Structure formats: C-alpha cells, structure tokens
Amino acid sequence: MALIYYAESIKALADYPTAPLVAPRPDDKPAALPLSAVHEALATWFEANARDLPWRAAECTPWGVLVSEIMLQQTPVVRVLPVWEEWLRRWPEPADLAREPAGEAVRAWGRLGYPRRALRLHAAAVAIGANHEGKVPGTYPELLELPGVGSYTAAAVAAFAFGRRETVVDTNIRRVHARLFSGAALPSQSLNAAEMRLAAQTLPDDVGSSVRWNASVMELGALVCTARSPKCRECPVSGSCAWLAAGEPPPTYTPKGQSWHGTDRQVRGAVMAVLRAAESPVAPELLQRAAADLGFEPAGSEFRWPPCTGSTLPRSSWSAHWRGC
C-alpha cells in the first residue's frame, strides 16, 4: 500500500544539553537499540500496522491532505472520515469550494466542532485561487501564509503532500519521545524548546526515512503508546524505552480534558445544529423561545433545547420544530 506521511518543520533553537537518545538498560533486559535501529524497527512496524486512511494514499491530492489536516485538529479520525470523504466528493479542488458561499462550508462541516475551521478552510481555498493559480502551494512559507494555516499545518502539508523533510511534534509524538528517550510517563504540559530539540536530534537525515519516522512515531502514539493504557508488549522498541527501564514512573501531573456538558461550547453546537438544518433564515427570537412540548421523550434520542430549559426535542424533529415555530 502506497502511503504518504506527516511531518512538521521547526525553527532553530538555542542550545540545550543533548538528551541521551538510547536509554541504558539493566544487564538482564534486552540491549537497547542504536537510534538507526530504532528508526528501522518503527518503520517496519508501521508498514505492517498503519491504518489505511484515505489522506495517506498516494493518489490523494495536496488539497485532500490540507483538508484532512484542518479537520483532524482536536477531532478523532473516526469522526473526520465520513465528513472528509463527502467534502472531497463535493469539492475535489480548492476552486470548487471557493465558488460556494462560506456558509455552505459551515453547513458541510456538520458536527466536527470548532466550525471556524470551516470558514478558514474556505478562506484558504479563495486565497489558493487568487495567489497560487488554484493549486495548493508546496513550501512551508507559502502554506503558512494561507488563512487558518499555522506552523504545524503548514509543515505537515509540505511533508505529507510534497515529501519535504520536516520535524513533526504533535501530542502523540511528544508522548512517545517522553517515554522512549526521556523516561517520563507524559511530556510536559506545554511544548518546550528542549522537546523540539530532541525531536530534531532523532529525525533521520534522509528525506524518505525522516517522513517515515514521523509517521511511524505518530502512529505508535495513537495505537500502542497511548496516554492511559500503553500496550508495551506490542511496542517494537520497548527494549530501548527509557520509561520502562526506569520502572514505569507515574506522571507528575494529571491531564485535564476539555469539558463540554453545560458549557458555551455545548450551546454553540446546539445553535449550529439548528442553523444547519434550517432551509431558510432563522429569526433570532426563535432561538430564545422555549421548545414546544411534543408530548413524548423517546429514550436516548432527545435533545435538550434551549439548553437553559428542561424541554426536550427528538433529534429527528429539530428542523421541523424550528420551521413550525
């Protein structure tokens, strides 16, 4: 299976003490692999275990890669897949999206969350048409100039779609690096320069090997070296893991997930659901009116609206309810 891989570029950093790249192991444990062997072991594991994702396929266009990168920000793969596929079916090139009103991008975004990403992706499509003859630019600086594209996304697209050597540092890679090389259960709570330097030190010099390394470490973090329940017996480089060698010390902090229930994010999601379902403009006063009592509450299918009331509304009746108000 032909695959394309993620990567991210970094800027030059001030000197930091070099972290050991291979952790010492007790004599009764398997000998740690040299870094080049760690690279090879992970590349072999990735080839056999990588998920078959459409934006990794050789035939995926740079536009498809860019769309996937924006959608995957803080959103699980399983939720992104159907929306990405429909998006590329409807808008296979940036110009196709740019011709549509921005509101159509938001409507097609569905329930992926953070709908401003849809607006920024639409703006990026317009900019690609205006400044790059309708083609996604292939260099980090050019990508960074697109609306809604930050350092990570610019570098990831440059490598994933155009095969450039960059250094990726996402959440999964930070966690693998922390355990494998630094002996910590979790990385620091925020990305720091020492982590970036370690990532640069461990990146292979060869372009092809570097993108395979980035992809394999990301996948290892997603499937094996997970935050809560790492599957160390399935890890192809467990013999070189500094965290295992240290006796699996516990994390120094407890990660806090983002709350949703009862927050403004929940309310915004509910409002967006109503607006997406509407076939005509929704009057503001309707969003402030208590829901009609339809006389039934099917278990597991109701939706509380407005969030500040005790009223419920079956999901299948959202749009009909609002059109009938």
Q: Looking at the annotation, which residues are catalytic? A: 69
User: Cα–Cα distance between 246 and 24 in angstroms, integer?
Assistant: 9
Quote the CA–CA distance of 218 and 5 in Å, as a whole number. Answer: 10
Q: Is the peptide bond before 187 cis (omega within 30 degrees of 0)?
A: no
Task: Please tell me whether residue 3 adopts helix, strand or coil conformation.
Answer: strand
In Å, the largest CA–CA distance within the chain is 75
Say if CB 79 and CB 112 are below 8 A apart: yes
Task: Write down the number of H helices and E strands in the chain.
Answer: 14, 2
Q: What are the angstrom distances between the C-alpha of 207 and each of 66, 151, 199, 231?
A: 21, 19, 15, 29
Q: Do the Cβ atoms of 108 and 100 come closer than 8 Å?
A: no
- DSSP assignment, residue 313? E
Which amino acid makes up residue 99?
R
Unique residue bearing structure tokens 């295992």: 244
**Separation CA 319–CA 296 (nearest Å):** 17
| Residue 93: closest CA among 65, 74, 69, 56 | 65
CA 124/CA 295 separation, integer angstroms: 46
Could you give the C-alpha distances from 188 to 71, 74, 217, 286, in angstroms and in order? 25, 18, 18, 46
d(CA 98, CA 63): 13
